[in-house]
Amino acid sequence: MQGAHDDGAVLLQCQGRTGVITLNRPRALNALTHPMVLRIDEALTAWAQDPAVDQVLIRGAGERGLCAGGDIRAIHDDAKAGSAASADFWRDEYRLNARIARYPKPYVALMDGIVMGGGVGVSAHGDVRVVTERSRVAMPETGIGFVPDVGGTWLLGRTPGLLGTHLALTGAAVGAADALLCGLADHFVPADRLPELVAALAAEPAHEVLPRYAATPPPGVLADGRTWIDHCYAADTVEEIVGRLLARKEPAAVRAAAAILAKSPTALKVTLAALRRAAALGSLEAALAQEFRVSCNALRSPDLVEGIRAQVVDKDRDPRWSPASLAEVADADVERFFAPLAAGDPGFG
């Protein structure tokens, strides 16, 4: 299949009756660019109407991961320049996330290795999601002064108890068992059996194939932490959440507090508000529309540029957040992220 955005970063082929999407930027951990999003969307549009295609499979090239997220260096440059390129990218990316969730044919995602940010968006909304012992699934946006997007607030707001709030604020990556527990994945398959699984999917429907390959994953860590997680993250504010974590005896709770305090104070408060508002929304599309407003407004936040600078550009891992403390972030500062976009902006839809 050829397309207008064919630069080799997304490979498309049909294996038997399965349409296969391969994200092909292994050096960049298959990070998504705008042309890649458009290419995937074109393929899904064509295959939805193709009677020769019964199901779709998405995977990442190389052995390091499905996808580490969006191209945040490009977002950094865009935010500094004040252009609209990131908003255009997010609009198409979020539309793709919604399409995946409503896709009329089985959509199988191999969530092997690193699956973060935008990688979650092109996988966890599918209806057949496979993790391996190498999987590391995360929404780490608060660490770059950003807020979970690509439907992340919708997914994390629907985990058992308050596990999703813990993951959103800390940015922690989880392995296979915890991804299954949180509802971010459906099946565990050992990584060395993935080639056999892909070959089998070329000939048979996913629902018939997966039971032959699914196994029990190595133990996770979140189930044992439910008591302190559900108690601490039920607090009304980020400050109170941190206070409850620090008051616990469990070392994991204290480590969680330290992880949170290293993140952007503004992004933390906006994330908590976004999660709780998304929980009250009636659909993924409504949550994506909210995320689009938050993401576009984040482009004007100094923490997004600073966070990406510290983590990706200069790599000094020493962001200087503004404001620097949770106490300095006012309610009005949070509300600005949820404000309607400028008149004439098409928004998400």
pLDDT at 79: 83
pLDDT digits (tens, 9 = 90+) for 304-331: 999 999 999 999 999 999 999 999 999 9
* Rounded CA Rg of the chain: 20
The residue among 222, 292, 298, 293 whose CA lies nearest residue 264 is 298
In the structure, what pLDDT confidence band is assigned to residue 95 with cuts at 50, 70 and 90?
very high
What does the alpha-carbon distance between residue 120 and residue 12 come to, in Å, rounded to a whole number? 20
Contact 11, 24 (CB under 8 A): yes
DSSP single-letter state for residue 174? B
Tell me the β-bridge partners of 14. Answer: 19
Buried b (16+ CB within 10 A) or exposed e, 119-150: bbbbbbbbbbbbbbbbbbbbbbbbbbbbbbbb
pLDDT at 78: 85
> HSE-up of 39 (CA within 13 Å, CB side)?
24
> HSE-up of 102 (CA within 13 Å, CB side)?
11
Q: Which residues, including other chains, have CB under 8 Å from residue 178's CB and lie 6 or more apart?
A: 137, 220, 221, 222, 223
Percent of the chain residues past pLDDT 90, beyond the cut: 90
Give, in degrees to the nearest 5, the angle at Cα 24 between 20 and 25.
155
The chain-wide mean pLDDT, for the chain, equals 95
What does the alpha-carbon distance between residue 344 and residue 85 come to, in Å, rounded to a whole number? 16
What does the alpha-carbon distance between residue 107 and residue 152 come to, in Å, rounded to a whole number? 18
- DSSP readout, 283-330? SHHHHHHHHHHHHHHHTT-HHHHHHHIIIIIS-------SS-SGGG--
The residue among 59, 48, 55 whose CA lies nearest residue 19 is 55
Q: What is the reported pTM?
A: 0.95
pLDDT digits (tens, 9 = 90+) for 194-238: 999 999 999 999 999 999 999 999 999 999 999 999 999 999 999
Residues annotated as part of the active site: 70, 118, 141, 149
Q: Where are the alpha helices (DSSP H) in 49-83?
A: 72-81
In the structure, what pLDDT confidence band is assigned to residue 43 with cuts at 50, 70 and 90?
very high
What does the alpha-carbon distance between residue 264 and residue 274 come to, in Å, rounded to a whole number? 15
**Helix axis angle, 265-279 relative to 284-298, nearest 10°?**
160
pLDDT at 1: 46
